[in-house]
């Protein structure tokens, strides 16, 4: 069942009456990007269907420049599916996803270059060195990046010349996250980014996300942890469905 678009909170986050409920945990002032334009990602009563099964429906929220949205809920409620839908990898079954007022899925070629999506798997090329993994990623994204600076943020500078196949699970996760620092894109979609990280690395992740938000970016993060990235709102996905 789809729901109406009333009952919006101060952040444009909808509360109550859908399978997804909202909880405000803090509101931050929305900075603007260098262009002077305030960016926004708005979902209006969106639904996701995979394998003929409705994963979720009636989900509405709005995130603007400088804001973070945390996705919470038990396993199997659609957090990963929602992130993949927001990334354009899964179609919108119902409703609308708007990027700066335009239908994002109607122009994926124009929308997707604005986002970074990091899923459960670490997309690492094992035969390449740690530095080469970052450099080639940045080149693919069309960015000129300081690979060593990105690696240093997650304590990987001393391993820059090591083939990535020799990294531990935690080091591979940190290498994957270093991509965020290697090329600038305003939307960060992160699926359980703290998995396999130690406390020090989680703190570095929090600093990086907070810096991104402070520069006018936005982040939507599925996490079971209380990541401290500054003021954020929470979208709780209800029972049922599959992520």
Q: For 189-194, what is the mean pLDDT?
A: 94
User: Residues with Cβ < 8 Å from 104, sequence gap 6 or more?
Assistant: 41, 88, 97, 98, 111
Count helices and strands (H / E) in the chain: 6, 10
Tokens of 24: 């405000």
Where on the phi/psi map is residue 18: left (φ > 0), alpha (ψ -120 to 50), or beta?
Answer: beta
Instruction: Decide if pLDDT at 14 tops 70.
Output: no
> Of all residues in the chain, what percent carry a pLDDT higher than 70?
81
User: Domain 20-119+186-237 belongs to what topology?
Assistant: Rossmann fold (3.40.50)
For the chain, the average pLDDT equals 82
Q: Which residue has the tokens 């929090």?
A: 206
Beta carbons of 112 and 87 less than 8 angstroms apart: yes
Instruction: Decide if pLDDT at 174 tops 70.
Output: yes
Beta carbons of 81 and 56 less than 8 angstroms apart: yes
pLDDT on residue 16: 33
> Of all residues in the chain, what percent carry a pLDDT higher than 90?
64
User: Residues 146-163: pLDDT tens digits?
Assistant: 788 889 999 999 999 999
pLDDT on residue 139: 82
Q: For 95-122, what is the mean pLDDT?
A: 94
User: Residues 101-110: pLDDT tens digits?
Assistant: 999 999 999 9
Residue 135, Cβ neighbours under 10 Å: how many? 19
Q: How confident is the model at residue 54 (pLDDT cuts 50, 70, 90)?
A: very high
pLDDT on residue 148: 87
User: Residues 217-233: pLDDT tens digits?
Assistant: 999 999 988 889 988 99
User: Residues 67-81: pLDDT tens digits?
Assistant: 999 999 888 889 999
Tokens of 48: 């996701």
């Amino acid at each position: 069942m789809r729901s109406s678009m009333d009952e919006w909170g101060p952040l444009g986050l909808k509360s109550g009456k859908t399978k997804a409920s909202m909880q405000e945990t803090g509101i931050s002032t929305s900075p603007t990007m260098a262009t002077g334009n305030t960016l926004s990602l708005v979902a209006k009563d969106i639904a996701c269907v995979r394998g003929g099964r409705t994963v979720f429906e009636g989900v509405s929220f709005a995130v603007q420049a400088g804001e973070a949205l945390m996705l919470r809920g038990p396993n199997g409620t659609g957090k990963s599916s929602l992130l993949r839908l927001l990334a354009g990898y899964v179609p919108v079954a119902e409703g609308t996803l708007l990027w700066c007022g335009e239908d994002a899925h109607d122009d994926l070629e124009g929308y997707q270059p604005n986002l970074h999506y990091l899923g459960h798997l670490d997309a690492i090329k094992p035969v390449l060195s740690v530095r080469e993994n970052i450099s080639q990623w940045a080149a693919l994204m069309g960015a000129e990046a300081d690979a060593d600076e990105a690696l240093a943020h997650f304590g990987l500078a001393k391993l820059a010349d090591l083939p990535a196949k020799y990294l531990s699970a935690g080091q591979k996760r940190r290498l994957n996250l270093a991509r965020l620092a290697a090329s600038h894109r305003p939307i960060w979609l992160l699926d359980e980014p703290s998995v396999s990280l130690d406390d020090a690395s989680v703190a570095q992740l929090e600093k990086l996300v907070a810096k991104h938000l402070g520069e006018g970016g936005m982040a939507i993060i599925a996490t079971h942890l209380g990541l401290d990235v500054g003021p954020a709102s929470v979208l709780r996905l209800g029972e049922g469905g599959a992520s």
